[in-house]
């Protein structure tokens, strides 16, 4: 059995070799039809476009993508060709929540009016799946007023927990996007935040996007910043990655190279889920263990819990790296340093010890 693996998937080398006979590692963008012809399975990320051009005539029967999103897989072609696939839903939800939490702490410290309590502000969460649900939880814990928008869930559940995108635009001080990229149909999210959306904003909100770049129209967002329709923008995802709009990068408050979900914990989850899916499909033994490396210093001392969380992860560091080296988007993403979540640390605030271990 032969499996071709994206060489940037962490914690997989030395593990998958114990499961299958032959493993070939390639850069995600280097997969070609000729190279996959005799492969039984692929383990990929978003940089490998799985369509007829890549898969036609191949032996491939299964694709595991170590990502939440799967818009890089032509699911209709795979179904017609008898190729099964599996994504990793929720694998990096807590990692993205860590990113958003740090952004919200920074916003509260440096951007929000200091004379207003956090409960005065409203956050709109667009897309309430695995990731969005984590954001709902942390926003509630912070004391923000929370509005949720998820049209597919609202239609399916018939619940009154969700509001319209129009209400989000009218009432929110912060709007954060956590939807999959859907290019057509009733639940289309391509350019969900378009000119009409930005024209309908009433409170000059902070805009955050950690979902997919094309959920927001780049040109419209630039004009919204210039025309002060929004107060700031935080972008982790971009249209046309890795060839991102450098003018937009210069204008956003925080801009990072698609790494919000790149905690070591999230990466380990994604790899683990991909290998479980591979083993399940081919009826292989699942005798493997995947665990991220421990941080060099697992003890955090801080004046406040929020300061401790920023010591653990501050997205401004990644933003400085990208803004200093904007042409190295893919390098910064592919060579991302170890980043652990708070459960890997012991946090001491004064004499009080906090641990989530």
SS3 18: helix
The pairing of beta strand 254-255 with beta strand 232-235: parallel
Catalytic residues, by residue number, are 212, 241, 258
Q: How far apart are CA 139 and CA 125, in angstroms?
A: 10
What are the percentages of helix, strand and coil residues in the chain, rounded to 5? Answer: 40, 15, 45
**Could you give the CA distance from residue 213 to residue 205 in angstroms, rounded to a whole number?**
18
Alpha-carbon distances, residue 329 vs 56, 223, 254, 258, 291 (angstroms): 31, 23, 14, 9, 27
Give the count of beta carbons closer than 10 Å to the beta carbon of residue 91.
24
What tokens were used for 280? 């399940």
Measure CA of the first residue to CA of the last residue in the chain; give whole Å.
Answer: 38
Q: Which helix (H) or strand (E) holds 302?
A: strand 299-302
* CA dist list (Å): 340 to 137, 248, 255, 314: 20, 29, 20, 12
Which distant-in-sequence residues (6+ apart) come within 8 Å of 238 by Cβ?
A: 213, 218, 244, 245, 248, 249, 258
Residue closest to 46 by CA, chosen among 327, 264, 337, 330: 330
DSSP-derived letter for residue 230 is: S
Cross-strand pairs, 41 = 3, 62
**R_g (Cα) of the chain, nearest Å:** 21
Q: Let me know: does 126 contact 180? Beta carbons within 8 Å.
A: no
Element at 151 (helix H, strand E): helix 151-157
């Amino acid at each position: 059995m032969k499996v071709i693996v994206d060489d940037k998937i962490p914690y997989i080398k030395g593990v998958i070799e114990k499961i299958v006979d032959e493993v070939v590692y390639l850069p995600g963008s280097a997969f070609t039809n000729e190279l996959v012809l005799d492969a039984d399975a692929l383990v990929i990320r978003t940089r490998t476009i799985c369509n007829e051009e890549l898969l036609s005539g191949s032996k491939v029967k299964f694709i595991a993508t170590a990502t939440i999103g799967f818009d890089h897989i032509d699911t209709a072609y795979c179904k017609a060709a008898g190729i099964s696939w599996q994504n990793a839903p929720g694998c990096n939800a807590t990692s993205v929540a860590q990113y958003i939490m740090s952004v919200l702490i920074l916003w509260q410290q440096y951007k929000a009016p200091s004379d207003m309590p956090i409960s005065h502000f409203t956050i709109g969460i667009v897309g309430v799946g695995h990731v969005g649900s984590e954001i709902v939880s942390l926003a509630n814990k912070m004391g923000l007023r929370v509005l949720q928008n998820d049209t597919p869930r609202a239609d399916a559940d018939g619940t009154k927990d969700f509001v319209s995108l129009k209400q989000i635009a009218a009432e929110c001080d912060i709007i954060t996007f956590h939807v999959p990229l859907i290019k057509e149909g009733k639940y289309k999210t391509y350019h969900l935040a378009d000119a009409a959306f930005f024209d309908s904003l009433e409170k000059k909100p902070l805009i955050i996007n950690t979902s997919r770049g094309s959920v927001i129209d780049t040109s419209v967002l630039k004009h919204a910043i210039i025309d002060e329709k929004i107060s700031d923008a935080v972008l982790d995802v971009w249209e046309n990655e890795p060839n991102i709009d450098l003018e937009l990068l210069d204008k956003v408050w925080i801009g990072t190279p698609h790494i919000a979900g790149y905690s070591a914990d999230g990466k380990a989850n994604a790899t683990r889920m991909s290998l479980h899916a591979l083993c399940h499909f081919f009826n292989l033994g699942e005798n493997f263990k995947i665990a991220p490396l421990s941080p060099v210093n697992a003890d955090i001392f801080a004046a406040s819990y929020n300061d401790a969380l920023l010591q653990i992860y501050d997205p401004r560091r990644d933003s400085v790296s990208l803004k200093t080296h904007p042409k190295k988007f893919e390098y910064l993403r592919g060579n991302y340093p170890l980043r652990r979540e708070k459960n890997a640390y012991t946090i001491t605030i004064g004499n009080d010890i906090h641990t989530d271990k």
